[in-house]
Structure 1
Amino acid sequence: MQLKRVVVTGLGALTPIGNSTQEYWEGLINGKSGSAPISKFDASNFKTQFACEVKGFDPKDHFDRRDARRMDLFSQYAMVVADEAVKNANLLDNDDIDIGRVGVIWGSGIGGIQTFQDEVQGFYRNDGNPRFNPFFIPKMIADIAAGNISIKYGFRGPNYSTVSACASATNALIDAFNLIRLGKADVIVSGGSEAAVNESGVGGFNALQALSTRNDSPETASRPFDKDRDGFVLGEGAGAIILEEYEHAVARGATIYAEIAGGGLSADAHHLTAPHPEGLGATSVMENALNDFSDIKKEDIDYVNVHGTSTPLGDVAEVKAIKKVFGDHAYKMNISSTKSMTGHLLGAAGAIEAIASIMAVKENIVPPTINHFTDDEEIDDKLNLTFNKAEEREVKAALSNTFGFGGHNASVIFRKFVK
């Protein structure tokens, strides 16, 4: 069976540094930090008092009151970016599209954590009287974002959610890619969303000692590869990518941003939260992505958008894996962590970082790793980690890594589209 080509025809983004794809991209290439003191709740008693929140988002700008009350914030974010991507791809302007072959595959690591928190707190405020909202479960479950998108547009193709912690959105993209190239769908709306900047999210990650506590300088707290990094910065938001079978896209005259040229999956099989210290799972997942297409070689990769969370162990392990996979070519690539600007969007990270990779391929600009002040002797300073300033260069292909608690690893490759 000959596999079909899969291309990107639409994008949507809602991030801590921009509320549309264009705003997000401009924030990236200008090295904008999205980290600031938390505004969603009183964090004064928490070890971490800052996060990368979405700014200026009002549900009333996008939904009527009834619909907004029936969706957790993570679903609202998903609906907004899906709408941008669907319109960007002109999916609604073509009556020839078979909506039975348009699917939605969506990722979220935590789902409706705000809804869960609110309902459980309400139960105890009511002295144990079980007066739960009838929409408690439909708002909370992680698959509901995919369901809401499908219902809004009437898309009746494959529809489900992937949950693999911080690899969730990349898993969703790879699943969508595989279904299309196998001929199971023509178009899939894919991506991820997360809205975990609340007491439970911050408190839980603080208990794991995973978050930066640099409360005196939140805008510089996310410091991937810096010697003084002390944990990741929690982020929120969403990203949507329209994946489409190549001939289907050409037939309807769609704009093509890039082509997917491989997806890889692996497991660390090592620890609940820590990466393998030698990056064994990270090595495997990049090799699997590179081996997915016979005409993609490691020398074709010009940019790696790393997982790069700004944790002491994770950054070192990922660099070791990159050097092992790419050898001498590692020194010819640009490498950067856009989490230095957006923070860590957990299950949505893979979606917005895929968009960063796609735009790097399209625009031939590599976004920077900001907040680098001090070299770490454990990280090879001959690698081009694109510190503090975006760099213009030809980007023929980009690889994006996402790794999740539980040892889940996913990598996806985008390359310039050539007919």
Structure 2
Amino acid sequence: MRRVVITGMGVVSPLGNTVDDFWEGLVAGRSGVKSLKDITHSDLFEHLGSEFASQVIAEVEQFDEAQQLPEPIRQRDRCVQFAVSAALQAVHDAQLEGASAIMRDNWGIAFTTAIGAAHTTEASYCLATHNGTQALDPEKIPPAFYLDWLYHTPAMMLAHLLEVHGPCDTITAACASGVDVIGHAYEMIQDDEATLMLAVASEAPMSPTRYGGCDIIRCLARGFNDQPHRASRPFDKMRSGFVMGEGAGAFLLEERDHAIARGAPIYAEITGFGLTSNATHMISLKPTTSPHLTRAIHQAMNEAGITPEAIHYINPHASSTNQNDQTETRAIKGALGHHAYEVPLSSTKSELGHGLSAAGFFGAIVATLSLTRGMIHPTINYEEPDPLCDLDYVPNHARPFTGTNALVITSGFSGTHATLVMQKAERSV
């Protein structure tokens, strides 16, 4: 079986739009969460904001990088722009701008999003119906709207920009998609369907209908509207839901011998992938579903050929909802046994909110950076322990790290669970 390594990374996030800014913000324990009334990139909330029970978001506030993108990309939805920006960072980081024609024929793209072009879709509807007060007028829908409407647009545009001719796939599995798409790209290289894969997740869900859809089912945080920076609090007893976030992450994955032969930087190796479904409920994640997440963890560990004691760090899903945090804690104990109490976990969502498909990708980037930079970022806002969430969540302060294996966990609406095991590279940057 061919080995797969990470040779490039890119990110767009509420804490910064480079890997270094992203990491520095996380390690410092900064919150990217703000009040909904302070949203900067969308006027769709102008007359609606006060209706929502949740009043907090995690926005990519400064996205000046959009001006550096090719003109066709600048005309597209924010989700497309985020995807391309993060992807081009990863390509540059992997030193692949001058790839040969043969290399480009063996280079594929795997993309995911849970929501797609939320802002453009809703803005087009408002334009074509005079904010929903008139019958839809098709003449008012922009002719190029189909490019935003199609989930596959970012993958297609990246293939065109990079002139790569390998597999070009788009998959979606709700909030588990970020890890799922990395696993898909990993397996494409394992199975010799490609030598390089650009894996990308992008999310820009800030529109009233998407926000309202989560608000109405009581998924969003309601407890700290007057203190947004305290609203996302995974594993804390006072948690009241997740904070909707946005952003994008990208990996350049590569067959290990190929990466070594061209002298590429190697950050980490992906050694295991697990994917299961609890097949129980679209949104509920009750403790009785935990064995199915435990199976996904076991799948990844078994493929990596490691025991529970070899897991040195976990980046969990940790959505800050009551059900998820308790169920995930239970599943981790089921998979790791007594070692669950010895391994540190830290929640990236505590600082970035829940970026849907991008959230799992953020977790994989964080695990990679923990392995390469020797630090674990904190779970912020951890103030009052929940007796049913009793593991080491690295509360409020970063911690030095010397481990060699990390586990990344995601779960998504519809009951999907995806996991990765990542190993510090033998030949690293």
Q: Which bracket does the TM-score occupy, shorter chain normalised?
A: over 0.9
**Residue 402 of structure 2 is aligned to residue 394 of structure 1:** yes
Correspondence 1:191-270 to 2 at 5 A: 191-213=200-222, 214-270=224-280
Structure 1 equivalent of residue 361 of structure 2: 351
- Is the contact made by 1:48 and 1:202 (CA closer than 8 Å) also made in structure 2? no
Please tell me the residue identity of whatever aligns with 1:34. Answer: G
1:268–1:407 Cα contact (<8 Å) kept: yes
Q: Deviations over 1:130-164 (max 9, x none)?
A: 12212222212212111111111011111011100
Q: CA deviation at 1:306?
A: 0.4
User: 1:398 is aligned with what amino acid?
Assistant: A
Q: Provide the C-alpha distance between the structure 1 equivalents of 2:154 and 2:286, rounded to a whole number of angstroms.
A: 32
3-state SS of paired residue (2:9): strand
For 1:282, the equivalent position in structure 2 comes to 293
Among residues 323, 328, 337, which one is paired with 1:318 in the alignment?
328
Give the Cα separation in 1 of the matches to 2:357 and 2:86. 15
Alpha-carbon displacement from aligned partner over 1:233-276 (angstroms, at most 9, x marks no partner): 00000000110000100010001000001000000111110113
CA drift at 1:53: 0.2
Q: 1:412 aligns with which of 411, 420, 426?
A: 420
Cα distance in 1 between the residues matched to 2:153 and 2:138? 23
**Aligned length in residues:** 413
Say which SS state the counterpart of residue 239 (structure 1) adopts. Answer: strand
Distance 1:122-1:261 versus aligned 2 partners, 3 A rule: same
The residue identity in structure 2 corresponding to 1:388 is N
Superposition RMSD on alpha carbons, in Å?
1.4
Contact 2:56 2:221 in 1 (8 A): no
Counterpart CA distance in 2 for 1:139 and 1:129 is 19
After superposition, the Cα gap between the structure-2 partners of 1:82 and 1:326, relative to the gap in structure 1 and judged at 3 Å, is: same
Kept in 2: contact 1:72–1:114 (CA 8 A): yes
Aligned position for 1:181: 190
1:111 to 96, 112, 116: 116
Q: CA-to-partner distance for each residue in 1:156-201, whole Å, 9 max, x for gaps?
A: 1110111000011211100100110111111111020000012122
Cα distance between partner residues in 2 of 1:65 and 1:324: 50
* Residue number in structure 2 paired with 1:7: 5
Residue identity in the other structure for 1:167: A
The reply on whether 1:365 has 2:375 as its aligned counterpart is yes
Which stretch shifts more, 134-143 or 81-90? 134-143
Structure 1 residue 229 displacement after superposition: 0.2
Matched residues in 2 for 1:280 and 1:135: separation?
A: 46
**Matched residues in 2 for 1:49 and 1:114: separation?**
18
Tell me whether 198-207 or 100-109 shows the greater mean CA deviation. 198-207
Deviations, residues 363-397 of structure 1 (Å, cap 9, x unaligned): 121111100111112222xx211010111121211
Residue of 63, 67, 92 corresponding to 1:87: 92
Structure 2 gaps of 5+ residues are none
Give 3-state SS (helix, strand or coil) of 2:287's partner: coil
Letter in 2 for 1:156: H
Determine which of 127, 137, 148 is the counterpart of 1:139.
Answer: 148
CA contact (8 A) 2:374 2:401 kept: yes
CA deviation string 1:283-328 (max 9, x = no partner): 111111111133x222111001000000011100000011111011
Q: Which amino acid letter does the alignment assign opposite residue 320 of structure 1?
A: R
Report the TM-score when normalising by structure 1.
Answer: 0.96
Identity %: 35
The 3-state SS of whatever aligns with 2:8 is: strand
Correspondence 1:142-157 to 2 at 5 A: 142-157=151-166
Alignment gaps of 5+ in structure 1: none
Shift, 1:84, TM fit: 0.6
CA contact (8 A) 2:107 2:194 kept: yes
How far off its partner does 1:59 sit?
6.2
Q: Tell me whether 1:51 sits opposite 2:62 in the alignment.
A: no
Distance 2:65 2:116 in 1: 17
For residues 53 and 32 of structure 2, the distance between their equivalents in structure 1, rounded to whole angstroms, comes to: 19
